[in-house]
Copies of this chain bind each other. A is one copy, B any other.
Amino acid sequence: MLTIGNLAKKTGTKVQTIRYYEQIGLMPEPGRTAGGQRRYGEDELDRLAFVRHARQLGFTLEAIRELLDLSDEPDRSCENAAAIARRQLRQVEQRIARLEALRTELKRMVRECAGGQTADCRVLEVLRDHSECLTDHDEIGA
Contact = CB atoms under 8 A, between A and B. Distances in A.
A2 interface: no
A50 B71 CA distance: 48
Looking at chain A's contact residues, is the secondary structure mostly helix, strand, loop, or mixed? Answer: helix
Interface stretch (A20-28, A29-37, A127-135): A127-135
Contact of A130 (B49, B100, B121): B49
Most chain B CB neighbours (cut-off 10 Å) among A57, A109, A137 = A57
A15 interface: no
Interface in A86-142: 86, 88-89, 92-93, 95-96, 99-100, 102-103, 105-107, 109-110, 113, 115-121, 123-124, 126-128, 130, 133, 137-141
Q: Which 5 A-B pairs have the closest CB atoms?
A: A78-B121, A74-B119, A89-B106, A81-B123, A56-B137
Interface of A: 46, 49-50, 52-58, 67, 70-71, 73-82, 84-86, 88-89, 92-93, 95-96, 99-100, 102-103, 105-107, 109-110, 113, 115-121, 123-124, 126-128, 130, 133, 137-141
